[in-house]
Amino acid sequence: MSIVAEFARLIHEKDKRDFDRVLTPLSYPSRTEKLYDIKAVIFDIYGTLVNYWRSDFINDEQKESALLAAFRKTSDFFKFTDFLRKMNPSDSPERTLRDFYHGLIALSHEKSLKKGITFPEVRIEEVWEVILMMLARHGYDPSKLDLGEENELPRCIAFYYNMHSLGRGFYDGVVDALSGLKKNNIKLGIISNAQFYTPIDLTLFIRDQSNDIYDDYKDLFENDLVFLSYEYGMAKPNQILLRKLFDALYEYQILPQQTVFVGNDLSLDIKPAIEAGMRAAFFTGDDKSAFVHDLSGKVIPDIVFDYWDDLPDKISFYRKKQR
């Protein structure tokens, strides 16, 4: 196990959090109630499999306060609060850290856009690497943290900040739904905007929800059907990720129309999937993360579902019987 994976496991077990809000489904139409002749189901992660929304995200002011608290918690844990004060005495350490973080992400996106990359994605550990270099110039010494290999420190910081900035854990019934689909001979994959820590989180959440029946996210997902944005430097809805998926599906002799994309966002998930010739399933079980944008009535998914327990019954490996 890598240093960051072990660090993540220890932090996760120390600070497991139950859902602290009641989910309200979103009402939205679908084309049908059930899909047939489906050989693969591809999932988005955040807002679809993972409940990332926090109760204190209720408005912009409270969300900013919660994220600043996560920056401060991260700064205190890794002991660079005093150095941030030294670097910018006129502002709080958490605001200074937030400005560095978002400024570096914006700079990376700007460079990618100039290269012609639409919907660019960063490797978030590289952002933290730059922040650590800036801190080191003001005397910060990460070797005193005793976290093992120093080159793993940016990844540990990235995991820690993500853990404390967003909600964590699967929606109820996710693992049972994935297991049910897989047992019905359906191949499972992922296309998602994600970072290096996403597979680590998936594994931790799958262990939690399955009571350790499954040990790794790859026990449920086909490794060659998993496409995470950070690995390609581009995010959804960039069509390159879908093209790579179709190339992989071809090896399984699975057509786009035999594939369902499951997502929570009409713009990033459902519309691109339909335009690419796939079927689409819209998760509407959480109105805080089911995003319609300005596409209400313009984009209609093949199926919708409010509860993960319902999904396996809405997707069949077999062709529909003719009467």
The per-residue pLDDT for 209 is 95
Residue 195: both structure tokens together: 């970072």
The CATH classification of domain 14-53+168-314, taken from the options 3.30.70.920, 3.40.50.720, 3.90.1720.10, 3.40.50.1000: 3.40.50.1000
* For range 223-233, the mean pLDDT: 97
In the predicted model, what is the mean pLDDT of residues 271-298? 97
CA angle (62, 14, 21) in 5-degree steps: 40
Average pLDDT, the chain: 94
User: What pLDDT shows up at residue 145?
Assistant: 74
Question: Which positions ≥6 away from 55 have C-beta within 8 Å?
Answer: 20, 21
Q: Where are the beta strands (DSSP E) in the chain?
A: 40-43, 187-192, 226-228, 259-263, 279-283, 303-305
pLDDT band at 148 (very low <50, low <70, confident <90, very high): low
- The pLDDT of 234-255, averaged and rounded, is 95
Q: How confident is the model at residue 319 (pLDDT cuts 50, 70, 90)?
A: very high
Q: Please report which confidence band the pLDDT of residue 260 belongs to, taking 50, 70 and 90 as the band edges.
A: very high
Q: Which pLDDT does position 3 carry in this prediction?
A: 87
* DSSP letter for each residue of 258-275: GEEEEESBIIIIIHHHHH
Instruction: Kindly state the average pLDDT of the residues 292-313.
Output: 97
Specify the range with the lowest mean pLDDT, choosing from 86-100, 146-160, 172-186, 246-260: 146-160
Q: How sure is the predictor about 17, in pLDDT bands with cuts at 50, 70 and 90? A: low
In percent, the amount of the chain with pLDDT more than 70 equals: 96
Task: Flag whether pLDDT at 49 surpasses 90.
Answer: yes
Name the pLDDT band for 67 (thresholds 50, 70, 90). very high
- Segment holding 34, helix H or strand E: none
pLDDT at 2: 85
Q: Where are the domains of the chain?
A: 14-53+168-314, 57-165
- pLDDT for 18: 59
Q: Taking the model in full, what pTM does it have?
A: 0.95
Distance (Å, whole) CA 39 – CA 138? 56
